[in-house]
């Protein structure tokens, strides 16, 4: 038996024939724009009745291209960050966007790609493929600045989750307040008697790293401690963090506390776990340690490091609310919001040792390799917009 023939999708031309009007009139009624008010009420009812009889469904993508609102919000990421595991760093962001979009009565469109992360692009063939949505929430670490600039120039409504800047304009973002959170951790360590606090920062000079550096310097100044640029270090590869490094910092630099900026993957936290597992340096007995943010992922076996945590779901939901506000404004101005982080006490900080001294190396262990201080980053102006 042959399968039944598929029913052809009704078009606006079909509606025009059924209602006895022009296709242009049908288009005006279906679009629901300002011009539709010029159509007589009896004609409008006839068009809508014909559309219902024919089972017509509007093409929201086509409506969007003509400048209408289709109540679709987009979510675009600059990396492959659509996890199915709730332990993943990005998982709360995605939940926050999805939940708030539904609460606001919008549908959510996820922009993904089969290309590699390096090949991901918003503009394909010179065209902004996000325009199928009314506006978009953007997410990810490895952004393409030129694409953000292009979105700003064409006034496409978008909000970035995280503080991002471009040279030729301002964009809207909702960011974690890394400056205040880092400064508060420094203050807590100073309260516990620590005076030599090393900051192990990311190699890349991104906005989140600059905000942490500003918070580190601010916290030291507020505690009455003179910043020492020799205590700002970075590693080319987070996996290279070793017990020898930590012993050198304790013995050679006299540090009693270590602030660590988490990497975007698990290499750094795995290296920290390896250091803590040697018993050659005990946290916090020999050296306190705190993370400047959340680890990329967690397992029940993970160490409960002292840290501050990003309100990721709250940030994402706030980004959706800001985006809808922008859509409702005739001449929207960029909005830049910061959200406080949450202190997690953990178990890796404590009072400063009374007399820190270098530990004797284990016989046969390799000599520590030196890590060059990171070039100082000029403090960012306190403009009331810290964070990422």
Q: Work out the end-to-end distance of the chain between its first and last CA atoms, rounded to an integer number of angstroms.
A: 62
Identify the pLDDT of residue 178. 97
Identify the pLDDT of residue 68. 56
Indicate the pLDDT class of residue 148, thresholds 50, 70 and 90. Answer: very high
pLDDT(387) > 50: no
**C-alpha gyration radius of the chain:** 27
CA distances (Å), 329 to each of 33, 128, 322, 326, in order?
Answer: 17, 21, 11, 5
The label of the residue with tokens 């919008």 reads 106
pTM, 2 dp: 0.75
pLDDT(371) > 60: no
Q: Residue 259 pairs with which residues in a beta bridge?
A: 199, 290
pLDDT(374) > 70: no
pLDDT digits (tens, 9 = 90+) for 58-80: 554 444 444 456 789 999 988 77
Rounded Cα gap, residues 89 and 139, in angstroms:
12
User: Inter-axis angle of helices 12-19 and 23-31, to 10 degrees?
Assistant: 110
Here the tokens at position 284 are 């916090």
pLDDT digits (tens, 9 = 90+) for 26-54: 877 876 555 566 788 899 889 888 888 88
Q: Where are the alpha helices (DSSP H) in the chain?
A: 12-19, 23-31, 41-54, 60-65, 91-103, 145-153, 178-191, 207-222, 243-253, 267-276, 312-328
Reduce the DSSP state of residue 160 to 3 states and report it: strand
CB neighbours (10 Å) of residue 37?
10
pLDDT(217) > 50: yes
Q: Where are the alpha helices (DSSP H) in 277-360?
A: 312-328
Q: What is the mean pLDDT of the chain?
A: 83
Indicate the pLDDT class of residue 360, thresholds 50, 70 and 90. Answer: very low
Indicate the pLDDT class of residue 382, thresholds 50, 70 and 90. Answer: very low
Rounded Cα gap, residues 220 and 216, in angstroms:
6
pLDDT(222) > 90: yes
Question: Using alpha carbons only, what angle is made at residue 339 by residues 335 and 345, rounded to the nearest 5 degrees?
Answer: 165
Here the tokens at position 253 are 């630099």
Average pLDDT over residues 356-373: 44
Identify the pLDDT of residue 368. 39
């Amino acid at each position: 038996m042959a399968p039944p023939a598929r029913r052809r999708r009704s078009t606006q031309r079909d509606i025009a024939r059924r209602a006895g009007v022009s296709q242009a009139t049908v288009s005006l009624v279906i679009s629901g724009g300002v011009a539709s008010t010029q159509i007589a009420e009896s004609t409008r009812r006839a068009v809508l009745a014909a559309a219902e009889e024919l089972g017509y469904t509007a093409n929201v993508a086509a409506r969007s291209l003509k400048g209408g609102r289709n109540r679709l919000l987009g979510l675009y990421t600059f990396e492959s960050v659509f996890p199915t595991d709730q332990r993943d760093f990005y998982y709360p962001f995605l939940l926050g966007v999805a939940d708030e979009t539904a609460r606001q009565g919008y549908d959510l469109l996820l922009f993904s790609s089969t290309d590699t992360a390096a090949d991901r692009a918003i503009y394909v063939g010179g065209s902004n493929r996000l325009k199928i949505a009314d506006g978009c929430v953007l997410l990810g670490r490895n952004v393409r600045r030129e694409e953000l600039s292009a979105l700003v120039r064409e006034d496409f409504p978008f909000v970035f989750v995280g503080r991002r800047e471009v040279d030729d304009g301002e964009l809207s973002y909702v960011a974690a307040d890394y400056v205040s959170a880092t400064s508060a951790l420094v203050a807590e360590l100073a309260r516990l008697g620590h005076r030599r606090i090393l900051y192990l920062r990311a190699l890349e000079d991104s906005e989140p790293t600059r905000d942490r550096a500003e918070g580190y310097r601010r916290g030291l100044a507020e505690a009455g401690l003179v910043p020492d640029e020799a205590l700002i270090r970075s590693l080319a590869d987070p996996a290279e963090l070793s017990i020898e490094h930590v012993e050198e910092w304790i013995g050679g630099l006299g540090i009693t506390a270590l602030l660590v900026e988490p990497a975007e993957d698990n290499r750094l936290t795995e290296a920290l776990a390896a250091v803590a597992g040697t018993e050659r340096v005990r946290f916090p007995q020999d050296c306190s340690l705190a993370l400047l943010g959340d680890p990329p992922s967690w397992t029940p076996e993970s160490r409960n490091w002292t840290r501050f945590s990003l309100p990721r779901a709250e940030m994402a939901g706030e980004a959706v609310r800001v985006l809808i506000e922008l859509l409702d404004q005739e001449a929207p101005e960029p909005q830049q919001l910061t959200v406080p982080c949450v202190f997690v006490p953990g178990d890796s900080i404590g009072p400063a040792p009374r007399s820190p001294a270098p530990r004797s190396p284990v016989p046969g262990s390799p000599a520590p390799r030196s890590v060059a201080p990171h070039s100082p980053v000029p403090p960012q102006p306190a403009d009331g917009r810290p964070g990422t």
